[in-house]
Each structure stands twice: as C-alpha cells, then as structure tokens.
Amino acid sequence: MKMPKLSLKLNTLPIVLALYYTLVVNLPMAREIVNIIQNLDAVKIVFVISIPLFFMAAFTFIFHLLNWPKLAKPIFVFLLLTSSLVSYAMFNYGIYVDYGMIENTFETTSEEASNYISVYSTIWLIMMGGLPAILLLFTRLEFSTWKRFLGLKALYMLVSILIIAAIAGLFYKDYASIGRNNSHLKKMIIPTEYLISTTKYINNTYIKQPMPYRQIGLDAKQVSPHNANGKPTLLVFVLGETARVHNYQYYGYQRQTNAHTAPYKPIFFANVESCGTATAVSVPCMFSNMNRANYDKETAYNQDNVIDIMTRAGIYAMWREHDGGDKGAAHNIKKMTLLPDDADHLCNSQECYDTAMLEGFEQDTANLNQDSILFYHLSGSHGPTYFKRYPEEHKQFTPDCPKADIENCSTEQVVNSYDNTILYTDYFIAQTIEKLKALEDKYNVALLYISDHGESLGENGIYLHGMPYSIAPKEQTHVPMILWTSTEFAQQKQLNTNCLIKAAKENSYSHDNLFDSLLGLMDVKTTEYRQHQDVFAQCRQPYPNTIER
C-alpha cells in the first residue's frame, strides 16, 4: 500500500502546527484555564473566545521563527515527539515541566524512566506525537523562492503580532488578572516552558564554565564527649525517597504503616519541610551549608558538604546507593551502587528491593575502629510503579495498583500501593535497627531517617512530585524524620531523650537543619557549625563544639 502523496506550503506549516498545539497538545493548559474561568465571579464570553486566538497567534509567531527549509522537518518532528511526552505528564500527573523537572529528568536513570511506560502512555504518545510526526515526515513541503518565502514569513509574523496586540489591547485587564493570580500558567505552555528550561539546563550543566571547587570547614576536628565510653560511634543515615508524612502512623494516619519500627519506640519529628520537591534538588541541598532560601545548585556541587567536613574531621563515611545516584552528595567517599542480580532472592534482572542493601551490612560494619556514618539511599516510595518497591509477602494493603499508569487505577488502589511502600521502608528501618542492636557491645549505635521530598496521590488531580516549591502542595514538601538511638549513644552524646521527644512534637524543622545537626551529633568542631540550626543542640548538655567566628 502506497502512502498518499501529501504536500503543504512551507509557510503554511507553522499555522497548521499552531492550530494543533492550541487545540490538542496544550490540553493540560486548556483544562486549567477552564477551571480558573469557572471559578470567576463573572467572565466575558468574548474574552473566553479570544484565548485560543491569542495562543494560535503566539504559536504561529514562534513556529515561524523555527521554520526554515531543510530544518523544518527535523525541528518539528522533535517538538511533536517531546511535546507529547510533556503533555502526557502534565495532563495525567498534574506536574509542570519547568527547570527543576528538566533537571530531574536528565538525572533519572533508564530504569526509573522505564517505570513510566505503560500501554496507556504508549498509546498517548503514538497518537499525539508519533502519528503527526510520521505525517509530517511524509509531507512534501513546497518552497518556491527565498524572496516569496521571507516575504510571507514576515507577513504572517506581523499579522500574528497585530492579533496579539489587538487582543491585549481589548482584554489587557482580564489577561493581567488571570496571569498574575495564576502565575503557574506560564509553566504549562507547551513547548515554550520545557524548551527554555532544557536550554538553560544544558547550558548550565554542559556548556557554562564550572565555578572553582571550594573547600569549607578546613578547621574541622572531632571533640570527645565528656563521658566517652571508649567505643566508636556508628550512625546509620537512611535517606528515604518520596515518603510523605501524611501517610505515617506516627503522624496520626489511621493505618499501621509504622508497625515494624513501633516496638523500638523511635523519636518521630512531626513537622519537617523538604528543601525541594525532587531528589535532584533536595539531596544536594540537605547536605550543603545553604538553606533552602539561598540554595544554589552550582555552588552545592562545587564545594564541600557536611559529609566532606565530617570525613576531614576523621569520621569514616560510606554510601550505598539504590535510587539513581547520590546527586553529588557522596562525591568524595566510598560509594557502592546496588545492581540487579538474578542470583539474589531480593532482586531480579531489572531491579532489587531496598532490603538487598542490608545483605552487606555485617561487612560494612566489621572492624570499624573510628567514629563512622553509613548512608543508605533507598528507592523507598518512588513512583509511579509503587508496586515494584515491595515484595508480594509485604503487600499488606489491597487491592494495590500493579501498573505504571496510576491515573487509570482507583484512588484506593494508588493509596494502597503507596502505603505498602511506606510500610516496607519501615520494615527496612526496623531491620537496620535490629542489626545495630546486635552491635551495641562494639559501638554506640543510632539511626537517623529522613525523606528527600513527599508525593501527591491524586489530591486536586495532582500525582507524583516535582512541582515548583512556591505552589507545591504540602503533600510534596512535608516529610518524615525518625531518630533511634541506643542508650549508650544517647548517654555518650549527652542527649536528653525526653527533651527530644517534646521538641520533635512541638517544633518545626526542615532540611536546613541537617548540616548542623550531623556536625553536632558526630561531635565535629568547626566554624561552619551553627548551633541554632542543630536540632539536637537544645537537648544536649552544653560543651564547646563551635569556634567563635
């Protein structure tokens, strides 16, 4: 069967694409605009009609800038395919593909990316992006002369500008009101937002000259607690993934999602805010000396973090990875990544469960003759394939959602799957505590758990995470933090546990506190230490672990 011969004037292509992007590709933005208009007290019908005309003119102008002989097909095929991906993510998960999401996407592993593939997503991408791209490839774009081409291009762009100007003149007040009250709308425009963000990310990451690396805390050294018992400190730091506090039994959630750790009576910090809504932001931020308000990724990647300062002070540190990378946090210490292995009963050829990392725990903790901190970076509750994070025997809440396209599961199924991941992470923590208790004769042991960010489970039509922090729902920013210590650890560190329990319930904390809290907890003396940001300082007997600046 022969393909029909299709032809289109080259200067007409931007108009056709503008119509397609206005009516089809930008469905997520159209849905949001409809919701906004429905909530207005009064609205002019003529203004509503002007909205698609405004975007049609704007897209026509933009696409004419990209429309050139021999370049038009590859450029627009690329745009159609990538735009369909963005449209799918925005429409079905309620996320914005801004700079933060682009950063997260570039740093996502192929395994994580595969979790988003489903029959539904494949059909969406084929219908919205694939078929139009194929159609364009088989269309002959007619081009006569450069003079006529450039003349028509200039005319169409001028008409587009005049339409935009006319609409702006007639309805400026309406557009300004909606735009200022709903600033997130600009992040929903496809393809402008994700193209600008991608360009910025590529420039900042691969083209821009990196800033010189800066060492901080050069004066760092350990000080011995007054009542040291001669045993080294062993702190296990469990870095969670996508755990939100609202589904924690300790927080008041009705389900027993903390059934495994409950017998160990850990201290639960109820009010902790994350630095970001995605791993690529939160992880380097939480270990840096910067607070969220002044966090800068480039600076964080090019200077020492709290792990570097602790190792400089003589503390042994090691990082076990199971979540697509340490995001630069463990760049100067021993790091081991858990790889799938069919021979391991906790793995298959594609992925493992978090507890597979504990198979090397005895080896990790053997013959430590200095204060040590071991990091375990979990895949935790990483979606949308929550069902892959826990084995069958740990499927407590049913029916779950055994597929990637969670938008096609019921809310009950999605929540059940997510709660199973929270419970399995709780099992991991409990197993780690039990292993630490077996080492109490050799070390003063403790465990600190904190999640990198939270997760949306369909509230207000939003799923997953990664929304801009300024408009992110609390489900994506309110995270759990847990501390368990042996009696001797608390005694050695002079921690008043009753004081900590009270502070954990009443005070508010954030990832901002982690840098100084780790320095304080591991008895590191440095000018970089800020006592007022140390979560544990108010509950310790005072002794000098800071140097006057």
pLDDT 10s digits, 281-304: 999 999 999 999 999 999 999 999
> Which range is least confidently modeled, 68-72, 345-349, 436-440?
345-349
Q: What is the C-alpha separation between 224 and 202, in angstroms, rounded?
A: 46
pLDDT at 120 over 70: yes
Q: Binning pLDDT at 50, 70 and 90, where does residue 228 land?
A: low
CATH numeric code, 231-539: 3.40.720.10
pLDDT at 142 over 80: yes
| Segment (H or E) for 484 | strand 478-485
Residues 315-374 pLDDT 10s? 999 999 999 889 999 999 999 988 887 778 888 777 899 999 999 999 999 989 999 999
- In 3-state terms, what secondary structure has residue 272? strand
For residue 296, what pLDDT is reported? 93
pLDDT at 104 over 80: no
Q: Binning pLDDT at 50, 70 and 90, where does residue 543 land?
A: very low
Q: What is the C-alpha separation between 321 and 338, in angstroms, rounded?
A: 6
Higher pLDDT, 119 or 395: 395
Q: Are 450 and 239 in contact (CB under 8 A)?
A: yes
Q: Can you spell out the DSSP letters for 402-469?
A: -SS-GGGS-HHHHHHHHHHHHHHHHHHHHHHHHHHHTTTTT-EEEEEEEES---EESGGG-EES---G
Query: In 159-251, which ranges are E strands?
Result: 221-222, 233-240
> Which range is least confidently modeled, 240-244, 461-465, 494-498, 542-546?
542-546
Helix locations, 94-182, DSSP H: 99-106, 110-114, 119-125, 131-137, 146-181
Q: Are 353 and 391 in contact (CB under 8 A)?
A: yes
Average pLDDT rounded to a whole number, residues 179-204:
87
Q: Are 397 and 257 in contact (CB under 8 A)?
A: no
Q: Of 478, 358, 361, 472, nearest to 425 (Cα)? A: 358
**At a CB cut-off of 8 Å and minimum separation 6, what does 323 contact?**
239, 241, 279, 377, 378, 379, 380, 382
Higher pLDDT, 62 or 343: 62
Higher pLDDT, 211 or 242: 242
Q: Binning pLDDT at 50, 70 and 90, where does residue 226 land?
A: low
For residue 14, what pLDDT is reported? 96
pLDDT at 546 over 70: no
Q: Binning pLDDT at 50, 70 and 90, where does residue 4 land?
A: low
For residue 132, what pLDDT is reported? 96
Residues 75-93 pLDDT 10s? 999 999 999 999 998 898 8
Instruction: Extract the tokens encoding 192.
Output: 């402008």
- In 3-state terms, what secondary structure has residue 269? strand
Average pLDDT rounded to a whole number, residues 7-12:
94
Whole-angstrom CA distances from 35 to 185, 262, 460, 514 are: 12, 43, 11, 40
Average pLDDT rounded to a whole number, residues 401-412:
85
Share of the chain above pLDDT 70, in %: 95
Residues 244-268 pLDDT 10s? 999 999 999 999 999 999 999 999 9
For the entire predicted model, the pTM comes to 0.80
Residues 19-43 pLDDT 10s? 999 999 999 999 999 988 888 777 7
Q: Where in the chain is the domain with CATH 3.40.720.10?
A: 231-539
For residue 105, what pLDDT is reported? 80
Q: Binning pLDDT at 50, 70 and 90, where does residue 544 land?
A: very low
Q: What is the C-alpha separation between 544 and 525, in angstroms, rounded?
A: 8
Q: What is the C-alpha separation between 305 and 303, in angstroms, rounded?
A: 7
- In 3-state terms, what secondary structure has residue 395? coil
> Which range is least confidently modeled, 57-61, 130-134, 259-263, 545-549?
545-549
For residue 406, what pLDDT is reported? 83
